[in-house]
Amino acid sequence: MSKAQVTLFVVVGILIVSAGIVFAYFQFNQQLPVQVRSVEDYFSSCVSNLVKDATVTAGGQAGYVELPEFVSASDYAPFSSQFFFLGSEVPYWFYMSGNGIQKEQVPSISLIQKQIADYIKNNIAACGFDQFTEQGYEIHTEEIKNVQITVSDFFITTEINYPITVKIGETSRRVEVHRAVTTSSFGKMYSDAKRIYDYEKGTNFLERYSIDALTLNAPTTDVVLSCAPKTWSQLQIESDVKKSLEANIPTIKLKGNYYTLKNDKYFVQDISVSSQANFMYSSNWPSVLEVWPSEDGILRADPVGMQEGLGILGFCYVPYHFVYSIRYPVMIQLIDGEELFQFPVVVIIDRNKPRQADVKETPEQFEAELCNHKIEQVSVTTLGSDLEPVDASISFKCHTTVCSIGSTNISEDSTLVTNFPQCVNGFIVASAQGYKTTKVQVSTNEPASVNVIMPKLYELNANLLGNSAALSSESSAIIHFISDDYSYSLYWPVQKSIRLAEGSYNVTAFLFQNGNITFEAQTKRQCVKAPAAGLLGLLGIQTENCFDMNVPSQLVTQVVTGGGTASIDVTEDDLKAAKSLTINIPTVEQPKDMFALQQAYTVIDTNTLSLSFR
C-alpha cells in the first residue's frame, strides 16, 4: 500500500470520527424543546469559548494552563524551570536546574485535560444567563459535579455535569449533562510537539548542530605550523558561537510542505509533522559557554620545536585541544492557522559531547499512590496580604510527591474544604496569577485548618541610570533580584518593568555597552625553560629561551561598563506607594584591553547599587 493511500485512509478516518462527534452533539440538542434548546446552545457556545481561552493559554505555556512550581536558576545553570519569553513565562520541557540536575516537565494529555476542566470549573460564572432572565426565563443552576475534557487532533469535546433548570411559560426542563464540541488543532500540535521532543531526545539533533557551530567558530583540536604561541579570546569565541547559533537554529526544518528549500538538506530533519515548525534562539537569552584550559579569558597554545634540541628540524608546530561545555535555550513553536503551541528546551553540550539522556527528575503525570488516599479533611483559605480573598490553585507536597487538590474560590470566601493525603510535615502550595506562590507546612495526619497568606506581586516601571545619568540607546543591562523564596531577572531594554513582592532581596546588576571594541595586537616577551642542546639536555640540564609572543587583535562587541550589588528590604507599603523603581548603576571607564576588562570586573564586585522607589 502506498503512502498516499495510507494518508487517505487516515484523513477519512478523522472525518468519520469528527462527523460522529458533531452528529451526537446535534442529536442531543434536537431532543430539547425549542425554548430550552436556545439556552442550551448559548451555554454550550460559552463553554466552548472557555475551552478556547484555556487552549490559547496552554498553547503559549507549553501545554500548561496552570504553571508548575517555579524552580530558580543559578550562575552555573541560568535556566529556571520557566523561560521568560516576550513577557510570558513558558515552562521548559527539558532544562538543567540551578544545582546541575537535568529535569523534564512535559505535561501528559491527561494533565492538560484536567487543567482545562479546572479552568472551566473556575470560570463557569462567566457563562451567566442574564440575557435570558430579562426575556422572562427562570433559570436555576446547581453545583458543578464534574467536567470531562477529551482532546483529539481537531476537536476538544466537553461533557459537563452541571444541573440547570430552565422554565419559561408552561415549558420546564432540567438538563444535567451538557456537551460542547470545540474546533481546535491544539491536540494535533501537542502530538507534533511530543514527536519533536522525543525525536530530539533520541537523536540530539540540536546538540549536533551546536557541535558543528562550535567546530566552525572556535578552536577545538588541531595542529598549526607556527613558532609563536596562539591565543584566542574566550569572549570573542562566545560571541562568534552565539552568532552562528542565532543564524543557523532558525533554519532548521522538519519534513513538511510549509517551506521552500533554498539550500541543501543539512538543516532538514528526518521527521514529519503536520504543523509549521519554527526553531528560535537569540544571543541575548541566558546561556553558558565554558572552556578548558583557559586563564583570565584567554585560550593559549604553546609551540613545540622552540627548544634548541628540536630547532634542527627547521620548523615548529602548535598543537591544541580545547574542551567546551555549552548550555542555551531553544524555543520550538508549532503554528496551525491562528493557533500556536510552543515549548522551550535547553541544549547541552557537555565537554564536547551531546548531553546524555540523564533526566534525574520527572514530574508525575498521573496521580501517585499517595494521592489516591485522600482521607483527612483539611480546610484551606487563601488570602492576600491585606486579607482579601484570592482564587488560588492548591496542591499538596509530601516529600517528593505532589498531589493536585483543587482550587479556592472567592464566591466561597476563598476556602476549600476537602480531603488530603496523610503526611507529616507536608506543604500546602497555593499559586495564583498576580501573587507569589506560597508554601505552608502542615501535618495532615489529623484534621487541620490552614490560612495561606499570599504576598501580592506589584509591577513597577524600571528606571535605570548609569552614575545618575540616563543610559544610551547602545546600553543593555541584566539585573537579578533574589530572595529566599522568589526571584526575578530584568533584561533591559527588552523588559522595562519588574514584578516584586514584599521581602528581602540581594540585587546584582551588570551594565553593558554595545559597539565594536578592538583590542590592539600585542607582542610580549615570553621566556621558557627548555632542555639544553646535546648531551647536557639528556642529563636534565635546562636553559632559558625567550621569544616574542604575538597576541592577535581581538574584537569584542559587548563590554561590561558598570555594575554592582546591593541588599534591599522591600515592604508592601513601598510597593503600594511606588510606580517605579530607580536603579542607579555605578559605571567604570570602558575597558580598552583584556587587563582593563578584568580590572573592571574586580571594581564592579565592590560597587554598591542605589535603589529607590518613586
Q: Which of 384, 382, 437, 429 is nearest to 403 (CA)?
A: 429
Is the residue at 496 inside a domain?
A: yes
Is the residue at 89 inside a domain?
A: no
Q: Indicate if 405 and 462 belong to the same structural domain.
A: no
Q: What is the pLDDT of residues 89-113, one digit of tens each?
A: 899 999 887 666 788 899 999 999 9
Residue 611's pLDDT is: 93
Q: Rounded distance, CA 490 to CA 481, Å?
A: 8
Residue 115's pLDDT is: 93
Q: Rounded distance, CA 247 to CA 244, Å?
A: 5
Residue 317's pLDDT is: 66
Q: Indicate if 164 and 21 belong to the same structural domain.
A: yes
Decide: 586 and 607 in contact? Cβ < 8 Å.
Answer: yes
Q: Indicate if 143 and 194 belong to the same structural domain.
A: no
Q: Indicate if 201 and 340 belong to the same structural domain.
A: yes
Residue 544's pLDDT is: 60
| pTM, rounded to two decimals | 0.55
Q: Indicate if 421 and 491 belong to the same structural domain.
A: no
The burial of 75, by beta-carbon neighbours within 10 Å (0-12 exposed, 13-18 middle, 19 or more buried), is given as: exposed
Is the residue at 77 inside a domain?
A: no
Residues of the chain falling short of pLDDT 70: 1-32, 73-78, 98-100, 224-229, 258-264, 303-317, 356-369, 400, 514-558, 593-595, 597-598
Per the structure, the complete domain to which residue 417 belongs is given by 370-454
C-alpha dihedral sign at 188, 192, 194, 195:
positive
Q: Indicate if 276 and 340 belong to the same structural domain.
A: yes
* Cis peptide bond N-terminal to 493, omega within 30: yes
Q: How far is CA 592 from CA 132, 451, 516, 605, in A?
A: 74, 57, 11, 19
Q: Indicate if 438 and 421 belong to the same structural domain.
A: yes
Residue 519's pLDDT is: 53
Residue 383's pLDDT is: 93
Residue 452's pLDDT is: 94
Boundary of a domain, candidates 161, 184, 207: 184
Taking residue 330's Cβ as centre, other Cβ atoms within 10 Å add up to: 22
Boundary of a domain, candidates 438, 454, 470: 454
Number of domains forming the structure of the chain: 4
